[in-house]
Structure 1
Amino acid sequence: MLLVGESTAGKTRAAFEAMRLLLPDYSFLAPSTREAVEVLLEDWGAIGDCVVWLDDLERFLGPGGLTLSALHRLLAPHPRVVVLSTMRSHEYNRYRDRAEHDVTGVEQDVWRQGRSVLRQAQVVQLERRWTVPERARARVLVADPRLSRALAGGERFGVAEMLAAGPELAQAWQHAWVPGHHPRGAALVAAAVDARRAGYHRPLPADVLQRLHDGYLARHGGPELRPESFHEALVWALAPTVPAGANSLLLGDAAQGYIAFDYLIDLPAQEPILEAL
């Protein structure tokens, strides 16, 4: 079984919860490296009902790891062994037939071995954005404030994406105020967040955001923070949480303007909105 989806779609958590619900009595085996797959097979005859957990499957593919032969050795003697794995869409697409011309020589043989393994999988595509029925079922659990905030983010972002990226973004924003890190970037985010807290839920032009952020930078120490340039601050604030991820502290571009990420608006214990804003 292979769950495929974008970063922060909730693949790992969905797979883990499904395993916990449906196979509670199975043993759990999680090789830590590609080479550990071969080590696992050395004593495979003594294994009973179990789940072999391969999170980020691409890490285990190739020589010395999970080849088609190794997969057959995992499954053939044990009809009640489940290989449960996850893979980001970007990595999965690297093994589609039309990608074969991108690899040559020895790498092509490795690629073909990986594709052979993936062709044996029952693939479940996990969408980043939840369906209307899924969101309706989640609303039953809105007593959990984290889930409530994620659902309130609208349908632009996935609920799992909000849950996964939100806390990390909040920590990155807090840490950015440290002198010499990204204090001007943190001030840009603070200005954009407070614009939304004040009721302005449209993107801000770059020149407006540049004027608004000065007060926030001054409130935290001004020049003593050793702030970076405006360009560097904007690049940092727009950087995705994870490679190829969709969430960043600020969203938008120079043409349409910039808006603060939804999750940040409802964080507790925020400072008062500056009168100048």
Structure 2
Amino acid sequence: MSGDDEGRPVTKRRRLIARPQVPPGPLRDLKALIYELYVEAGAPSLEEMAALVAADDGLAGAPEKDTIHRIIRDTAVPPSQADVVAVVTVLARATTTWDGHDVAQRARDLWVAARLGSAVGVPLGEVTDPFVLEVHRPIASERAGTLPPLPPYVPRPHDRQLAGVVERAAGGASMMAVLVAGSSAGKTRACWQALEPLREAGGWRLRHPFDPARPEAALRDLDRVGPRTVVWLNETQDYLGGGEAGERVAAGLRTLLAAPSRGPVLVLGTLWPAHHAELTRRPESQVRQVLDGTIIEVPETFTGADPAALQHAAGADARLAEAIEHAEDGQITQYLAGGPELLARLTAAEPAAKAVIWAAMDARRMGHHNALPLSLLEEAVPAYLTATQYDQLGQDWLERALAYTAQPCKGASGPVTRIRTQRPHHGRRRRAPHASAHDGGPVYQLADYLDQHGRATRAGHIPPTGFWEAAAVHAHPADQGALGDAAWERGLYRDATQLHKNATTHGDPRAARSLVDHLHRLHPTDQRPSAHAAAHATLNNPGGVALLLGALRQAGADDQVTALLARDPAAQVALDNPSGVANLLGRLRQVGAGDQVTALADRLLAVGMLDQFLQIGDHRERYRFGREPEGHPADRWGWEDLLDLE
């Protein structure tokens, strides 16, 4: 501390109510209006504001001190529009620049917009179709007549664990549970059944983000999820995987679960064991931290159930009775989901149909999302056929193969089926997730059970050259980076580099890093890959930009570093991943980009990320006593300045 600081007199001032930190949107605009009025009115005390409201019989609202405090400070939409109007009206009268009537109307409009925009998801009571939430369709049975959509549910020990989580959420705690087991073990069905107490309680909503792609859908409105909302993250790896995007989703989930004003919320997810192991291999990652303590293991076999309850349920449903009779090793839920029939369909398939399934299996295990462009499958299939098999194909071979793979397996989905657009009962047509490829063509999905089967039985198979050539032309741009990584790991350097170049062209900064790094090893003096990466990588991902800067610096591509910095990444990167921002700050310092460090620091301070801001320059000493809501360093304060509220 400097001598000047020591000699400065301790000034007492009225302590301001803290400014709420609210995501962009009408609610933030409303809160900003209220807080600006509060400051310009001289920050009157709660007692003073309550007295002003009580003295005006013409106001429709009559909030008291606690309500006024919540209107100013809380991050939620105030329940009463009239109370909000009352507060802004008396505050406007205490200023010289605001018109009371105008500000009251503005507050009414913003309150309505915030109220309409605050409800994320749909009422849980309206979610009556389990298949919309991706519960597996059960097999059909020749023994039965009309049956309900799902067989009777027989609880097992993991259901009791999950019920405890739901009970705590119903009691007011924000909770998260992720069920882990192999394909078709009953994970999603267990989550569906666990919602019943919340349906009965009423007042809960459900948000299932999937369109246009799962990470983007989750990030789009995660900061708007409010109390009494179920966030449905079936196939959780599709939300938390994929590097930086998954880290951002995980960070958003952690923020949601930790915010008392936004709870209670319930986050439900499902994972295969292999996906869980992959997602949690980095101890410091946001993904691992959000999953910590949430895992509920689901047995692969039907163990732990009450035998009498199981037999009673089988007596009422022929599908369950058939599964009990024929399932091997107690894998009743897998049988119900059509697992054995899917394997039988694969075994009996003609060469072209079998090649379609193998190509789909390889695309999935190499990293493509389960929305496979038809053009990718069509171009890849010949590589899985012998010369004789290919010569014997008819003109309609693709139509016949897809017709075979689309046939339901005892009522469950076929091996490879088209993802079609969905038409709701009322209103205009909307699109299913990934209902068309990036080139506008149709897309297909591989049955979950065969996906897992392919990962186990084809683990030692390297896809043929024709697969990689088809992937480079027809795979979705967002998946080409992962496919390139898979090719490089298998020594297919040329195919990997082509895929990384394609992904870089579409803006993937991690693929750009790989492109620069790999080609620098092979051709140290060729700077064309670095120039391509610096020109095309998107700049919204701070961790990805940091990795790319590091690769360019390592490759000695100084001109390309300058070109990338000229695109002003500090002004464009998202700030919702603190670790990524910290990495970028460190990398900017390494390359001597002081102006970019300063610009990024200003953004950090503006949004309240003080911990990251304090790591820069001399800010730690300047902001030793914190900051004021307006952004400047707080004055020196001590124990004597704290209020005694006892």
Place the TM-score, normalised by the shorter chain, in its bin: 0.5 to 0.7
Q: The residue matched to 2:183 in structure 1 has which SS?
A: coil
Where does the alignment leave 5 or more consecutive residues of structure 2 unmatched?
Answer: 1-176, 355-391, 395-447, 455-646
Q: Do the aligned partners of residues 87 and 179 (structure 1) sit closer, same or farther apart at CA in structure 2, a change above 3 Å counting?
A: closer
- In the superposition, relative to structure 1, how do residues 132 and 122 fare at CA in structure 2: closer, same or farther (>3 Å)? closer
**Deviation, structure 1 residue 135:** 4.4
Instruction: Give the corresponding residue for 1:139.
Output: 311
Distance of 1:59 and 1:113 partners within structure 2: 15
Q: Deviations over 1:138-170 (max 9, x none)?
A: 211123111001111356141111101348528
**What one-letter code is carried by the residue in structure 1 that aligns with 2:237?**
E
Tell me, yes or no, if the aligned pair for 1:129 and 1:155 is still in contact at 8 Å. no
Q: Give the corresponding residue for 2:181.
A: 5
**1:23 corresponds to:** 198
2:333 aligned with 1:160: yes
* Contact residue 67 and residue 117 of structure 1 kept, 8 A: no
| Partner Cα distance (1:153, 1:123) in 2 | 30
Once the two structures are TM-superposed, the CA of residue 241 in structure 1 deviates from its matched residue by 4.2
Q: Which has the higher strand share?
A: 1
Structure 1 residue ranges (4+ consecutive) displaced by more than 4 angstroms after TM superposition = 65-68, 178-182
Task: Give the alignment partner of residue 148 of structure 1, picking from 301, 309, 321.
Answer: 321
Native 8 Å contact 1:179 1:225 kept in 2? no
**Residues 85, 181 of structure 1: CA spacing in aligned structure 2 closer, same or farther, 3 A cutoff?**
closer
| Structure 2 residue aligned with 1:244 | 452
From 235, 257, 275, give the equivalent of 1:91.
275
SS of residue matched to 1:243: helix
CA distance in 1, matches of 2:327, 2:224: 50
Looking at structure 2, the residues matched to 48 and 114 of structure 1 have their Cα atoms a distance apart, in angstroms, of 23
> Once the two structures are superposed, what CA deviation does each residue of 1:193-227 show, in whole Å capped at 9, x if it has no partner?
xxxxxxxxxxxxxxxxxxxxxxxxxxxxxxx999x
What is the root-mean-square deviation in Å for CA atoms of aligned residues?
3.5
Say if 1:64 and 1:244 are closer, same or farther in 2 by CA, change over 3 A: closer
- How many pairs were matched up? 178
Quote the residue 1:74 is aligned against.
256
> CA shift at 1:123, angstroms?
1.4
CA offsets, 1:73-113, max 9 Å, x none?
Answer: 322132211011111111112244xx45xxxxxxx97xx23
Question: Structure 1 residues 225, 173: CA separation in 2 closer, same or farther (over 3 Å shift)?
Answer: farther
SS in 2 for 1:52: strand
Contact 1:135 1:151 in 2 (8 A): no
Q: Is the 8 A contact 2:223 2:256 kept in 1?
A: no
Contact 1:41 1:73 in 2 (8 A): no
For structure 1, the 5+ residue unaligned runs are 101-107, 183-223, 227-239, 247-277
Q: Does 1:123 align with 2:295?
A: yes
Aligned to 1:50: 229
Decide whether the 8 Å contact of 2:187 with 2:298 is kept in 1. Answer: yes
1:151 partner amino acid: I
Instruction: Give the structure, 1 or 2, with the largest relative contact order (CA under 8 Å, sep 6 or more).
Output: 1
Shift of 1:116: 1.7
TM-score normalised by length of structure 1: 0.54
Q: AA paired with 2:336?
A: L
**3-state DSSP of counterpart to 1:152:** helix
1:267 aligns with none
Give deviations 1:20-78, integer Å, cap 9, x for gaps.
x121132110111101222113434xx33110000111111143345443113322132
Q: Give the drift of 1:133.
A: 3.3
Please give the secondary structure, in 1, of the residue aligned with 2:300. Answer: coil
Give the TM-score taking structure 2 as reference length: 0.25
Q: Say whether the 8 Å CA contact 1:6–1:88 is kept in structure 2.
A: yes
For 1:169, what is the secondary structure of its paired residue?
helix
The answer to whether 1:41 aligns with 2:222 is yes
- Tell me the CA shift for residue 131 of structure 1: 1.5
SS, match of residue 22 in structure 1: helix
SS state at 2:301 partner:
coil
Matches within 5 A, 1:149-228: 149-153=322-326, 156-166=329-339, 169=342, 172=345, 176=349, 181=353
